[in-house]
Each structure stands twice: as structure tokens, then as C-alpha cells.
Amino acid sequence: MPRMSLAYTIFKDIYQAHSIVINSTLALLLGLILFEMGWLTKSDYQPKGKHCYVTGGTQGLGKALAESLVRQGAHVTVIARDVEKGKRVEAELKSIAQPNQIIQFISADLTDPQSSLDTLNRATERFEGKVPDYIYLCAGFSKPKYMVDSSMKEFQAGFDGTYWVSAYTAHAAVKLMVTQRVLGKIVFVSSFLGYTSFAGYTNYSPGKYALRGLADALRSEMLLHDIKIHIFMPCGIAGPGYEAENEFKPAVTLKIEEDDTQISPEQCAAALETGLRKGYYQITDNIVCDFARLRSNGGVPTNNFFADCFYLFISSFGLPIWRMTADATVRKGRKAVQEDYEARGVYDHSSK
């Protein structure tokens, strides 16, 4: 028996030693795999001293972000169309900046490719031609309508104001970053409606989905050059933009969103920067966005592994339930919409 006990003890010790080695090896291999995929890389986000280029920086998320960046010691270039508003924001930013910080505003139409390129080049003039280190693509607008009620011009403008307004600048920035060997960051701003959509957003969601496709592909491409790509997928943001879109929003759309809670631009900007500091690729500001993210992320790097596993489990039945309630709301609005179309002469009765 003593010999058996001794043999058992030796076998047990060997088994435990092998288990430790095997588990350690597996953990190391998993860590290396995740590191190679960019899932465990440490973020190098540090705005201080960087040139930060913020489109749509005169209101909402863009303005809140610009203010945060200035307070962190960044040089900030704000891009927007409205000259009067832009000059006012430029003065506000200069009032909280240190004397050595460069703060500038440039008025531009970023839905035009040449204007987008010229504006970026102009922004580099005070930096000896060097491309901005961080590009934040916050410009855009939303005018929700049913597709039947949208003209072709409005339909095109919807894509211009959600996709091209960011894609043209990203194209120009990527070329400069690669040619100048600048290891910068490009941050797209999409939306919860770039994950899933519903009635009223036919001229808005397509561009936001397209931005996610562009960011996914560009993230992969820029691994060749060590340029970091991120995309922010916020829910509703309180402010002038949200108030303006509500003027156009159909009743059914308002009904679906009636229980939504909008967050302030400052809270939204803080969520974005928190994600950047953690090195997240797809950044959200709401747990509902995380549910949608994990149901449609296309296998891109996740955020918090354990939280994401839990969110994926919840979203597997939670998101379909939300979709069913949204569809039910649309069906309830059918009669009112049909009566409105009948009264406006939308229907062609001669085809019957």
C-alpha cells in the first residue's frame, strides 16, 4: 500500500505539472492569437500635443469632442459649413486653450470630394504640411422620411450626408497618412441605425451601414500601415441635430422611439474617448447598441470578451423581441399612413 500511495502521489504530481504546462501553453497561444488579431493590444490614444481634425465640430458630438480635445492639450481644427457658428466655436475653443495650442476653423462642404481634399490640405498649412494625427468624422445629418415621400434629390442627399461626407475625408486622410508614414487614427461615426433599422430611416440607415462596411474593410487594409481605424455607433444624441430631425420624423418612427433616452453630446464624447483609450474598434455608448453590435459585427475584434459573451446570449432572444415590437408598431400605423396617402393623392387609382 505505501508503494501504491507513493506511485499515486508521483503520478498525481506529474499530472498536475503537465496540466499546468498544458494550460499555460494554451493560455499563451490564445493570448498570442488574440494579440495578433489586435484584440489585446494596448491603446496608444493620447490627444495631448496631437493635431486633431474634427468634422461637424460646431455642434453636438463634434463640438463636445473638440472641447474635450482642447482641454487635453490637443491642437484642434474644426470643419463645418456655417461660417458664423464656426467662428463662434473657434473663439470658444481658444478661450479654454493654452497659448501654445493651435485652434482653427475652416468652412467647407465635405460632401464634395475636391473640397474635402482641399480642406484637409489647408488644415495642414500651420503644421508644415503634416497630416492631422487624429481624424474624427462627426459631420452628417438626418431627415427621416418614408421612401415613398422622398424625392430622388432627397434620397441622394441622405447618402451624401451620412456616407460621402465622411468617406471623402477618410480617403484623403488615408493617402496622406500612408505617404507621410504617419501612424494616425481615423474615427468614423455611424449609429445604432448602422446595425439595424426600421420605418422612417430609408434615406439615413443605408449610409450608416455603408460607413460600417468601409470602416471594416479599411481597418483590415490599414494593418499594412499600422494606422488605427475605429467606428463609433451611438444611440440618440440630444441637441440641435436631434431636434431638427424630429421635425421631419414620421409618426410611426416617433412611436418606435418614444421610450428612447438621448444622452448629452458631452456624455457621448466621453463614451467615444473611453472606447478609444481601451483600444476598441467598434465603440458604443449604450448596452442596447452592444446587443446589436454582437448580432451583426461580422467577426471584427470584440471589446470586453466576457461581457460580450453575456451580451451575445441576451441579444440572441432580446433583439428579435425588440424587432417584433417595432414591426408591430409599424403595422399599427398602417391605416393612418394609407389614409394620409389617400388624402394627398399618392395612390394611382387609374391602374386598378
Active site residues: 204, 208
Which of 137, 118, 133, 26 shows the shortest CA–CA distance to 78?
137
CB atoms within 10 A of CB 346: 12
User: Coil, strand or helix: which one is 348?
Assistant: coil
User: Coil, strand or helix: which one is 42?
Assistant: coil
φ, ψ (nearest 5 deg) of residue 79: -120, 130
DSSP annotation of 97 reads S
Cell of 139: 459631420
Distances (CA, A) of 111 to 56, 141, 144, 167, 219: 12, 11, 19, 9, 22
Rounded to whole angstroms, the Cα distance separating 242 from 247 reads 9
If phi > 0 it is left, if psi is from -120 to 50 it is alpha, else beta; for residue 50 that is beta
